A and B are shown apart, each in its own frame.
Chain A
């Protein structure tokens, strides 16, 4: 079967500025594609191009196998949820939801039935006769979702739909969107700058920066094998530790030296990854630097480090130290005895380590 969405060599310019450069991405039916990146990376522009709200400067775009490059938004069989919800302020919730059907000339009975179904699905029946101004942020969000759901489109588009909600509501709605996706089996494209949203929701993630796709992959691929320093730094919280280090070959493996503020460098060995240049940037997730007691793999290597800062975070305690001239975060047990200014043995697990070339920032292993 043809992919539900296929973007081929898409370019987008505003005058002389290129905002999207050679975008290629496709998703299958039922996929949840998340476009993630810092603000200004072009992710929202890409979504608008998919919706047909922005004309594209080059390339092609297929939805459901049909070439939609020059088709107007209303004929693309899409529905969209906006960051500001974009509810029509003078219409009631019911009219907001049925406006699209009304414009398309769908008969009243069908409109009513669909409205009822969607309202039940989203539990917004009591709100149907209110105006958007009388709703809370979370309720508006639901109505915006309702307006999209009622259309039953080939493709759902979400433009940072949760960014205007407070933290607690955001987590709730995130779960609900995920449930909705699972229940409907619908295809979705979702834009966010929040990498946690991206990780939790996506079946496929596109990480963007400066109008260029940095990496496409499943959440696990993106998290465990970031393609470059940007992706490594952007995805994950706290961010991946990126430590300048020296390597040399040894017995088919690699010996890694990391400078410390005082004392000798830490020396670690990686039995795999033999073919590395001398200077690398070592990427280690905070959870891969842990208490020696809780080490999950046998090949984790223990080294003493002087802790600079201790940050209890409830379930875990993060400690910050300085290695290779960088702040390095490690994730320890909540009950850890680590104290600022005191040396602490830490277990480095190199099983999922990433190496990057310092000059290009590209992944080496």
Chain B
């Protein structure tokens, strides 16, 4: 896992005149600033639009600040906006997402931790093949499992339910959680396990007393990764839910693309921000771990 937060030691001295250096520096900062504007603009537009009245949206322009700040759109988005036939805002769907994400994150993290522990520390014949199979599972386009999964959920009697969605997220999250923990545990010398075996500890005792207390950083990375994935999921949500069990992303899409009535762009934006808030919050609070999760899946080690 690579950490990008350290900076290069003082280096890269250049033999240019101070003026050239200064100009280059200014150009550099201007460029960086412009890019920052590019990335911030949509968020800014979303926030300002959500605080405007519909009239102001029609007359004003995209990036102007609201003349009159109103929270009406937020209230509508949260409690009364229509998602198809239902007009209860995103609130119930927000809680659906919470109810789906929390157990799914917990279960897939725990199972991933145990899997990673076995693959990294209790190598047996076939463990590597298991890991390869698992890893490959991370890469399949989920479209290829949608149809049979819909049928199997039906057979299991959990089609269109929140437990059904939890189940799906756990199953298809295992690849990544196993990968994260395996890569973390593989860097822990196997002598630790050996020492604990000689000390008389068994499989679970070693996991519980020695590996789990070591795992806080990777648990944070995994939880954040899984939470972001599951919260932001749309494909499983839209495929395996029904009215009443939809996650917030599906509700948001329904609000935005519902064809009935007047287009309330401010409500759309407020709903979008509400849907984005939990993951944004996680990102702001624990950005370092978020980035580690992102890069862990793709950078070796």
Contact = CB atoms under 8 A, between A and B. Distances in A.
Given A89-B214, A90-B210, A90-B214, A84 B191 contact: yes
B196 interface: yes
Contacts, number: 63
A83 B198 contact: no
A78 B200 CA distance: 10
Given A88-B209, A90-B213, A99-B209, A104 B200 contact: yes
Contacts of B189: 84, 86
Contacts of A272: none
B64 to A, nearest CB: 55
Contacts of B214: 89-90
A73 B192 contact: no
Given A88-B209, A89-B214, A100 B194 contact: no
A48 B194 contact: yes
Contacts of B209: 88, 91, 99
Contacts of A80: 194-195, 198
B199 interface: yes
B274 interface: no
Contacts of B196: 88, 99
A79 interface: yes
Given A90-B214, A99-B209, A103-B205, A82 B197 contact: no
A103 to B, nearest CB: 4
A99 B199 contact: yes
Q: Chain B interface residue count: which class?
A: 10 to 19
B129 to A, nearest CB: 14
Which of A79, A99, A104, A151 counts the most B-chain CB atoms under 10 A from its CB?
A99
B201 interface: yes
A86 B191 contact: yes
A53 B194 contact: yes
A291 B205 CA distance: 64
Interface in A150-172: 151, 159
Contacts of B205: 103
A129 interface: no
A330 interface: no
A88 B200 CA distance: 14
B199 A51 contact: no
Interface in A67-97: 72-74, 78-80, 82-84, 86-91
B191 A73 contact: no
A147 interface: yes
B286 to A, nearest CB: 21
A86 B200 contact: no
A304 B198 CA distance: 59
Majority secondary structure of chain B interface residues (helix, strand, loop or mixed):
helix
Contacts of A78: 198
A99 B198 contact: no
Interface string A55-77: 00000000000000000111000
A94 to B, nearest CB: 14
B213 A53 contact: no
B215 to A, nearest CB: 10
A91 B199 CA distance: 14
B63 to A, nearest CB: 51
Interface string B197-241: 111111001000110011000000000000000000000000000
A159 B189 CA distance: 14
B198 A73 contact: yes
Given A88-B210, A90-B213, A90-B214, A103 B191 contact: no
A79 B191 contact: no
Contacts of B201: 74, 99-100, 103
A80 B193 CA distance: 12
A100 B197 contact: no
A51 B191 contact: no
Given A84-B191, A86-B191, A103-B205, A73 B197 contact: yes
A199 B2 CA distance: 44
A269 to B, nearest CB: 54
Given A74-B199, A79-B198, A86-B191, 13 more contacts: A51-B194, A51-B198, A53-B198, A73-B198, A80-B194, A80-B198, A82-B191, A82-B195, A88-B209, A91-B209, A99-B199, A103-B199, A147-B195
Interface of B: 189, 191-192, 194-202, 205, 209-210, 213-214
